[in-house]
Chains A and B, each alone.
Chain A
């Protein structure tokens, strides 16, 4: 079944139910109504103002009651007397026919009647009379059809009834609410049509030849080639009735069944030629036609190892069992909505599968991108949710799509930095690993322009997403190196190339951050995001097993070190502690490692780290900040009037910790009137340390324990 058919069917009841739900309900409701019918008719009189109305309502009520009684009769009996002499049967049949041709029948009614017609309770004349009036008001339940097919197996009805049933099924196919079970019954249909020699009936003949055209192996009987008219519209028993019922139930609409997608449904330009969503509906490929090969009989087809259609894929186990014979979707874009197929895409090495997805995604992204379209913001929601779906798939695969990267090249220069911001920045974070310097001009230079001219919140989200990007690249690289043969000669060059790319990314973010902090007057909020990024950076060697240690630029380090915010200082301590661990681990493995990395084993990295460490120890512990190797000129301190800077920076006097020191003193010695900060020394110093740690400054704790020797208590 084509996708839009399905969708349309599901829309049908919505349209009709408004007018028909007054008499359609389930069987249980019918029974209830029957019991209540007396009291109901009284209350009706009270409600209606005009006599005409109430009379009309009465007529409706009467018809409804009659139908209910008739249905109950068909459902339960009694069928004591011979059917052909039964006046009751005639009466009820008439009632059902009248309602059916006028308003159509509810799914429950069709269920009952199908049951009766095929169970052989009555003779073939009555059966055919029943089948002829089975006009659905809304839909037909799939289960009713399945039940009917099981009656066919029981062999209770004659050939002509069977034929009529098949004709009815063909005509009503689009009204069946679901098709999954029916699709499974095709083998039975064909076998039944051929074996029962019913195939000679023109209608079934037509059906068979239709299927022979698409799936030649399924049909083994020979069919005359020159047979022209099979399903004339005018000939169709039910069509006019269907249209009439539909019209009546819809009320005023004079237009008959307008199922074709007219120009009114098509938005200007191209707009959704045939589907209701941007992402194609999953349907099996028409390419793999192995079962279409000559000489394969029906029974072979039914029991052999046939391709597994993707529509039937429901569980991961099924995927594993059928991965060798999976029939891929005809439109690869459909995998975006199917996590099982995403699994498959993830491990498939077939380039054409990926190319199909690539091309589709590329063109769709471009076509739908809203800032390409002037004054066309109404489809913004759709585009946003499309991007969300893509990002979800990327997260699921833990891998970015190349199409999205190509899309960014084209669209980033035109982006206003506002439209779909969350999604767009997420796309950036999923750029597949690549050479940074190569993509910098198309992506990161454009991003920098937006970054510097936008609000602090935009800056923070950019940094957040660049952190994600770094993490994605690191994960990808660590997996990739793991899988590659270590003996591979090219490994050394590719690895250093990869490390260079990561290094450049980190360097770029450092540059962005330094300038952003300057622009935003050293905002603590922004600094948090910057340090979050470096929390990732400092652990590359240990967490991802990649030979790279990059330190932060001084502009960030000193800003964090002299911050008045204790959480910033704490975060800095943690990062320094992790840097230390990574550098020590790298040093230890230096001799073991085959690959020398210019990035960690350069003495410059260690020198830089030691500078920072000295500055930190000086500022937090020894009260001797910024001595040798400092980036600060002592003259600067004189100029700004901090003459006693040498003693004013340690764990007690640091602006971020001063409040801790005071509350520590107040807490321990509550009776004291004045606090003497310089009293925190010796034993008290240790008590103060414990106090700081207990206040949640875990980063500080790690830093002090790993980097500062305890003997050096001031």
Chain B
């Protein structure tokens, strides 16, 4: 399942309409199933994708400061099913409830109070503008903050844990889910795993949703490599690097393959045809070229190993479901692809 040669199903963004109505009515549930079927039925080759847009699609009112902290940080990815009865007007109440929940979990066996003197505080806020279309719901940021025991002395607040939920071009999911639900299929967390577990548990209990780790298989990593190489970056901040893993015992062997970003771009331009669109054939060709080049020098068939990490100046992604976004300009583009993967996982 994780081999580079197995084209993994990728959601196709197409309006789902049932050609012929059966005995079933078109309830949201059936529309959902319909779209799952659509995806399962797609041709072996993945549909062409657009290269991430050059122009940032962040809406005008977004505060660049607010997005800056999303960059240069490693996030663990999760897919998240739609939240039931989540309301953007209740964020303050959620902050209180979640901090009470965390406190209760941490001091199990003893009574707790609400709000004050727990040395931690939870903050919920909307990350306006982190979305693809106006139909996408606003991203939500959750942070666990520490408070110094004497708040009057120093107002210093330390961020202990950060997580955010977003939906970028999530139309295929949005159109099958009724109003009661909020679709934020992609969840990114940074901080202690125990905190992620606490927050996740609270969300699962409160909004009847379900989290699942989002791994990125080799097939999707190649797509990322190709799409991110195709991006026009003003200044290359990192070399383009691929990490291949050779499954051998007792310890697995990793092969790092780094090339200058400009060389990678030149290679891409030579295999790339239609501007603004990336096809499966191009991705395959791009990777084949890289592998055959490596084989020429080292006589190692990389295609027989497993691609586990891709790093570019735009972003880097690990097969474990870890991502680091480096380029502000392509933040939305990267999130759009990750949203797509998350939606595919929850369907």
Contact = CB atoms under 8 A, between A and B. Distances in A.
Contact of A355 (B28, B109, B210): B28
A439 B109 CA distance: 52
Interface in B110-135: 110-114, 116-117
A456 to B, nearest CB: 29
A255 to B, nearest CB: 14
A354 B178 CA distance: 12
B36 interface: yes
Nearest to A367: B212
A170 B109 CA distance: 9
Contacts of A480: 23
Interface in B241-265: none
A451 B320 CA distance: 35
Contacts of A372: 1
A283 B208 CA distance: 11
B346 interface: yes
B208 A360 contact: yes
B66 interface: no
Nearest to A494: B23
Contact of B108 (A174, A230, A270, A414): A174
A171 B110 contact: yes
Nearest to A274: B201
B111 A171 contact: yes
A171 B113 CA distance: 13
Central interface residue in B111, B177, B208, by most chain A CB within 10 Å: B208
Contacts of A273: 197-198, 200-201, 204, 211
A538 to B, nearest CB: 24
Interface string B66-91: 00000000000011011011000000
Given A259-B109, A330-B206, A402-B29, A355 B177 contact: yes
B272 interface: no
Nearest to B194: A263
Contact of B208 (A206, A356, A362): A356
Given A5-B108, A260-B105, A273-B201, A331 B208 contact: yes
B209 A270 contact: no
A363 B116 contact: no
Contacts, number: 169
B22 interface: yes
Given A372-B1, A410-B9, A442-B37, A359 B111 contact: no
A686 interface: no
A206 B116 CA distance: 12
A359 B197 contact: no
Given A266-B197, A351-B178, A239 B110 contact: yes
Contacts of A210: 111-114
A355 B110 contact: no
Central interface residue in A206, A355, A433, A434, by most chain B CB within 10 Å: A355
Nearest to A257: B109
A409 interface: yes
Contacts of A5: 108
B270 interface: no
B212 A363 contact: yes
A173 B78 CA distance: 35
A402 B33 contact: yes
Contacts of B212: 270, 363, 366-367
A229 B111 contact: no
A483 to B, nearest CB: 11
B20 A497 contact: yes
Contact of B23 (A355, A356, A498): A498
Nearest to A225: B115
Interface string B8-33: 01000000000011111001111011
B277 interface: no
A206 B100 CA distance: 14
Contact of B178 (A207, A236, A355): A355
Contacts of B191: none
Given A414-B1, A438-B37, A236 B110 contact: yes
A270 B81 CA distance: 15
A363 B181 CA distance: 16
Given A206-B111, A228-B116, A497 B22 contact: yes
Nearest to B196: A273
B193 A209 contact: no
A681 to B, nearest CB: 55
B210 A363 contact: yes
A95 to B, nearest CB: 27
B300 interface: no
Interface in A1-55: 2, 5, 8
B63 interface: no
Nearest to A270: B213
A258 B41 CA distance: 50
B114 A330 contact: no
Contacts of B50: none
Interface in A559-600: none
A330 B32 CA distance: 22
A242 to B, nearest CB: 8
A363 B208 contact: no
B29 A354 contact: yes
Interface string A351-391: 11011101110111011000010100000000000000000
Contacts of A358: 29, 32
B179 to A, nearest CB: 9
A414 B3 CA distance: 13
A435 interface: yes
Contacts of B210: 359-360, 363-364
Contact of A442 (B40, B113, B211): B40
A206 B112 CA distance: 9
Central interface residue in B9, B41, B201, by most chain A CB within 10 Å: B201
B347 interface: yes
Interface string B176-194: 0110110000000000011
A195 to B, nearest CB: 22
B204 A331 contact: yes
A257 B106 CA distance: 11
B302 to A, nearest CB: 20
A374 B81 CA distance: 24
A210 B97 CA distance: 11
Contacts of B53: none
Given A230-B113, A363-B346, A330 B23 contact: no
A166 to B, nearest CB: 11
A92 to B, nearest CB: 30
Contacts of B178: 351-352, 355
B56 interface: no
Central interface residue in A273, A374, A433, by most chain B CB within 10 Å: A273
A458 B264 CA distance: 50
Given A355-B28, A409-B40, A363 B1 contact: no
Contact of B22 (A171, A229, A435): A435
A173 B33 CA distance: 46
17 contacts: A2-B105, A173-B111, A174-B109, A210-B111, A231-B110, A260-B194, A270-B212, A280-B204, A351-B29, A352-B84, A355-B32, A355-B178, A359-B81, A359-B82, A359-B209, A363-B212, A434-B24
Given A230-B111, A287-B84, 15 more contacts: A210-B112, A236-B110, A331-B204, A331-B205, A331-B208, A352-B181, A355-B181, A360-B208, A363-B345, A364-B210, A402-B32, A406-B33, A434-B22, A497-B20, A498-B22
In the A-B complex, the 3 residue pairs with the smallest Cβ-Cβ separation, listed nearest first, are A359-B81, A274-B201, A273-B197
Interface of B: 1-2, 9, 20-24, 27-30, 32-33, 36-37, 40-41, 78-79, 81-82, 84-85, 96, 100, 104-114, 116-117, 177-178, 180-181, 193-194, 197-198, 200-201, 204-206, 208-213, 345-347
Interface of A: 2, 5, 8, 170-171, 173-174, 206-207, 209-210, 213, 228-231, 233, 236, 239, 242, 257, 259-263, 266, 269-270, 273-274, 280, 283, 286-287, 330-332, 351-352, 354-356, 358-360, 362-364, 366-367, 372, 374, 402, 405-406, 409-410, 414, 433-435, 438-439, 441-442, 477, 480, 494, 497-498, 501
